[in-house]
Amino acid sequence: MLDSIDLSLSISKKAFKPIQKAMVERLFELSELVYEQKRPVIVVLEGWDAAGKGTTIRKLTEQLDARGYKVLSTQAARTHEKQKPWLWRFWMNIPRHGQIAIFDRSWYGRVLVERVEGLTPLPEWIAAYEEINQFERTLADDGTVFVKFWLHISKEEQLRRYIALSEAPETAWQVTAEDWEHHRKYDEYMAAVRDMLTSTSTAVAPWTVVPATDREYRLYVVFRTLIHQLEECLTLPPSVWPSPEELGATVDAEQPKRRTKRRKVGDGDALPVAALPEKATRATEKSAAKVAKKEAKKANKAAKRAAKAAKQAAKAARKAHVIETVDVVNVAATQEPEAELTVTFDVAPVVAEVAPPSKRGRPRKGVASPGETVVATDEQKADQLPEQQAVSPVIEAVAPQRKSGRPPKQPAAPPVAEVVTEKRKPGRPPKQQPVPPLVEAAPPPRKPGRPPKSAVASAVVEEVAAPAKPKRGRPRKVESNQSDQADAAQTAAPVEVENA
């Protein structure tokens, strides 16, 4: 099967671009029908390292609904997976009805990597061929559609891609020591691939070998095969696509492609336009248009800079004119003769003119005393005048100036003594204040021979406020108040008798 594959087939990128867009749209429509008819689909992508499996999956899922597919990357079995049947982890990842599952490497690693690297004993990987066929037949009987691809490249092409990936810093991590070891065993893997394709290509799950040397040809074969099998399982009429020959497929030589640099055609070239091919003519027109566009941008920027410079010059001229006008006024003022200022104080007996205080309340300098004549010129400074002296004995009280909008300060009020009441615990009666002793009013002295005036002793009656009724506790005793009233009555009785 691998011997009949021509790895040199290719399609031009320009010819495949519109076909690829139509294929992607058709694949999206088929994915919607797969969901409506509830058909599970399994797409298996196997192939050599660096054959383009990841790029192919990315192009397949470019327009698909994320809810309708899943991509599964198969790695080495983990610890708990080794304790179960080797197909158990793939049974757990089969797609549900109406979903597409894309496997980047699959259960075929049992008869490829595990066989070549000696990870699986000989009887087990030999029995794996039949186990794989039974696994796929069971899923196909349930309605699952299988589409399996093997991406095939030569050993020389794989080496060239490894070197290209290793030289680029952003892709060097993709090539590991394990990949180089697999490349060294290319022939051993080739024998394992032949046995796998021969033993596991069945009617329900056939293999499709894809020449993966050319990127566009690889995508064309994968898209066309997948669309054809989905249309067949969904009982739809097949789509018609142009053949590789119609798209201009050619057989490339074994020599690598050479990248030629395009020659830029400038204004100084002496080649006639008629002698240039059509592509060169188009390149000349494009380069001329780019040059004209750049020149227009430069002219626009120069015009903007000139306008800005003109504005700045006009602004500077206006500013210079104002400065010259101010200088002329200053010169005219300095040329005038100095005027003498004579200040005479008229001393009055009572009223005197007092200069207003300064902002800080300090006396101003430069005020003459009464009767003194001072001749001041404009050149003299205020600090050279004599200090202000008292003009008259009358001193007027000048209120200090204050800022506008602020009310005058009010004198501080004397502290008010607060009446402090004694705190007491709830339920206890307040303490009784002791009653001051009554003082008898002494009769005024009288002259001998005159009868004494009737003196009425004013009984001092002290009103004692009734104590507040306590909320809780025992009733208050009033015996002390009764005894005090009795003593007061006894002391007032002799006074009444004497007056009578």
- Predicted confidence (pLDDT) per residue in 140-149, tens digit: 999 999 999 9
pLDDT in tens, 80-128: 988 999 999 999 999 999 999 999 999 999 999 999 999 999 999 999 9
Retrieve residue 211's tokens.
């020449």
Q: What whole-number distance in Å separates Cα of residue 43 and Cα of residue 147? A: 5
Nearest CA-CA partner of 213 in 58, 47, 7: 7
* In contact, 483 and 442? CB cutoff 8 Å: no
pLDDT band for position 209 (cuts 50, 70, 90):
very high
Lowest mean pLDDT among 7-21, 150-164, 228-242, 366-380: 366-380
pLDDT surpasses 80 at 213: yes
pLDDT tens sequence across 39-81? 999 999 999 999 999 999 999 999 999 999 999 999 888 889 8
DSSP category for residue 342: E
Contact of 69 with 35, CB cutoff 8 Å? no
Q: Is 339 helix (H, G, I), strand (E, B) or coil?
A: coil
| Pairwise pLDDT comparison (231 vs 425), residue with the higher score | 231
Q: Model-level pTM? A: 0.51
Per-residue pLDDT reduced to its tens digit, 313-366 = 888 888 877 666 655 555 555 555 444 444 444 444 444 444 455 555 555 554
Closest among 136, 293, 148, 297 to 209, alpha carbons compared: 148
Please report, for the chain, the start and end positions of each structural domain, with discontinuous segments joined by +: 9-251, 274-309
More confident call, 257 vs 75: 75
The pLDDT, as a whole number, for residue 458 is 42
**The CATH number of 9-251 is which of 3.40.50.300, 3.40.1350.10, 3.30.70.270, 3.40.50.720?**
3.40.50.300
Looking at residue 365, what is its pLDDT? 54
Residue at token pair 């009033």: 478
pLDDT at 222: 95
**What is the distance, to the nearest Å, from the Cα of residue 158 to the centroid of all Cα atoms in its chain?**
45
Other CB atoms within a 10 A radius of the CB of residue 19 amount to 19
Residue scoring higher pLDDT (454 or 175): 175
52 conformational bin, left if phi > 0, alpha if psi -120 to 50, beta if neither: left
